[in-house]
Amino acid sequence: MIAKDGSELAELRKRIRHSTAHVMADVVTAMFPQAKLAIGPPTDEGFYYDFLVDKPFSSEDLERIEDEMRRTVKSDLQFEFHEYPREDALAMNAEQPLKLEIIEGIPVDESITTYKHGDFEDLCAGPHVESTGKIPAFKLLNVAGAYWRGDENRPMLQRIYGTAFESQVVLDEYLAQLEEAKRRDHRRLGRDLDLFSTHDETGPGLIIWHPKGARIRGLIEDFWKDEHYSAGYDLVYTPHIGRSTLWETSGHLEFYKENMYAPMDMDGQNYYLKPMNCPFHIMYYNTALRSYRDLPIRIGELGTVYRYERGGVVQGLLRVRGLTQDDAHIFCRPDQVENEVNDVLDLTFKMLGSFGFSEFEVTLSTKPEKAVGDQSNWELATESLRRTLENRGQEYDIDEGGGAFYGPKIDVHIRDALGRRWQCPTVQFDFNLPDRFGLRYIGEDGNEHRPYMIHRTLLGTMERFMGVLIEHYAGAFPTWLAPVQAQLIPIAESHLKYAEEVGKKLTDAGIRTHVDLRNERMNAKIRDAQIQKVPFMLVVGDREIEAGAASVRMRSGENVGARPIEDIIKLIITESDART
């Protein structure tokens, strides 16, 4: 069995963080008696607790809360587990309307449990550490608004975020990482490097790509297309809207409607902005009767789709409403499934490696509660994906119930330069859509058969992947992706003509070049080029003109010295072609 078990450290952190959330809730209700409690779970990065209060918490409030929490921790109060009849639990929470709502949602045959420390007692199933004194190190981070139950029609709560670890050393390392993450924030760098923008006038989650950002995106897309043609894919373009009958047949209006935009009435027919590309790729498949010899058919598209994300979760490039998927669908015979999934994973790791990612974590997600298809198909599909992973010797976690509504899936998570985990590639098995759309092929036996269908993305979406890349590189894109690879910096006005001549040579050689013709001092031009994270800065003056050269400075601050122009061209092209 290659599936990985959860670690003891993860369990310890969960207990510490859950306990710290309870301590915070205790202190908040003592300091702000009018505060009403909601929920306070541990998370992968820390914990939070939601409160219903009359006015938002301030940064000064957080400092006071944290100070008081330290006193509670020092008191070393025991965490005590209790179990109550429903009536007693309701009576205990008579002044807590949100807790009453939680209790009402608990099935009548389930017990109601709490954890208590000191005088504070809260609905909870645990787990916790033994006592508050077993909380080694914690820090409150920030406060934000959050709708109760995630419903924008419900009250706005105040959510206090914090984190806790098994030691002060580890906490300090994490806080340092948070500071570095702020420095790498793709929203700030996107603005500073002039890559993209969003605007109230166009609406949240809709990206305007600026020329530099569009150049980087175009380079990624060209690389993606070349790799897919080499891997035997055919690429298509499909519409941005589709008639309602298409989405009824696909099941999206039944299972995905809450994420779709409202219909448009055109000629008495409802049309929807597409939330996914798959039905259109199926339309292509159905343009001809396929033979078993035609399969597999691999159809790819950089297809832009539109999904409604709540305003509160839209975030820069990471959560958007208009997104371009590096989408593909593979139509294959049952005997081809494992080979195709294996090839997808090979292509995934190859392409991600070109962007500098080398650490991967794989998850196999199984049938969710809301799903289509009979159980035997789910079992067959899940076993097929599992067998593929194990035959590769690939370690993986299992996410029970985390599959798509139409089939199980494999998700690949990458680790960035800060060690953060991002889910990008996904491979999804689908036996639902081939049935719904009546897909068929003529088998070797001369009879009609149903093909299997595999959905997959390698980068995820262009928007999210770009956001990850910006933060991974801290905006300093490798030479092959840099929007400007070389910047010519003439020392004085008399050197402008030579700088333009050199710039043309580099441009003609295929190097993305900018000549800084501003009437600024050389040092200011160098500093600005470094701020813009240009890989190569080429300074030219009298000596360089006489030698037919340029002085090379790297964005790292390294001064390479004067080099002949042809050598500089070779240097930049070699580094770019190596994708390092």
Considering Cα of 568, then 569, then 570, then 573, what sign does the dihedral take?
positive
Average pLDDT in the 369-380 region? 83
Q: Say if residue 445's pLDDT is above 80.
A: yes
pTM: 0.85
Residue 409 annotated to the active site: yes
Residue 532 annotated to the active site: no
Q: Which of 14, 122, 139, 278 is catalytic?
A: 278
What residues contact residue 376 under an 8 Å CB cut-off, 6+ apart? none
| Location of structure tokens 């009879």 | 447
Residues 121-139: tens digit of each pLDDT: 999 988 999 999 999 999 9
What is the arrangement of strands in the sheet containing 448-449, beginning at the earlier edge strand? 290-291, 441-442, 448-449
Q: Which of 26, 50, 326, 327 is catalytic?
A: 327
| pLDDT number for residue 129 | 95
Q: How far apart are CA 104 and CA 63, in angstroms?
A: 35
Q: Percent of the chain scored above 70 by pLDDT?
A: 99
Q: Say if residue 6's pLDDT is above 70.
A: no
Residue 278 annotated to the active site: yes
Q: Say if residue 211's pLDDT is above 90.
A: yes
Q: Which of 96, 325, 336, 428 is catalytic?
A: 325
Residues 243-298: tens digit of each pLDDT: 999 999 998 998 888 899 999 999 999 999 999 999 999 999 999 999 999 999 99
| pLDDT number for residue 579 | 85
| pLDDT number for residue 407 | 87
| pLDDT number for residue 408 | 92
Q: Which of 307, 367, 386, 472 is catalytic?
A: 307
Residues 354-368: tens digit of each pLDDT: 999 988 999 999 999
Average pLDDT in the 398-415 region? 90
* Angle formed at CA 163 by CA 162 and CA 168, multiple of 5 degrees: 130
**Exposure of 576 by Cβ count < 10 A (0-12 exposed, 13-18 middle, 19+ buried)?**
buried
| pLDDT number for residue 5 | 46
| pLDDT number for residue 73 | 96
Q: Dihedrals φ, ψ of 237, to 5°?
A: -125, 140
CA 326 vs. chain centroid, Å, equals: 14
Residue 332 annotated to the active site: no
Cis peptide leading into residue 204 (ω within 30°):
no
Mean pLDDT for all residues in the chain: 93
DSSP 375: H
Q: Which of 117, 329, 514, 563 is catalytic?
A: 329
Q: How far apart are CA 124 and CA 57, in angstroms?
A: 24
Residue 567 annotated to the active site: no
Q: Say if residue 544's pLDDT is above 50.
A: yes
Q: Which of 409, 464, 512, 525 is catalytic?
A: 409
β-bridge partners, 521: none
Q: How far apart are CA 32 and CA 374, in angstroms?
A: 52
Query: Which residue ranges form the domains of the chain, and what is each CATH number?
Result: 8-166 (3.30.980.10), 191-473 (3.30.930.10), 486-578 (3.40.50.800)
Q: How far apart are CA 421 and CA 415, in angstroms?
A: 5
Q: What is the band of 310 on the pLDDT scale with cuts at 50, 70, 90?
A: confident
CA 130 vs. chain centroid, Å, equals: 36
Q: Which of 22, 455, 456, 533 is catalytic?
A: 455
Residue 22 annotated to the active site: no
Q: Say if residue 159's pLDDT is above 80.
A: yes
Residue 192 annotated to the active site: no
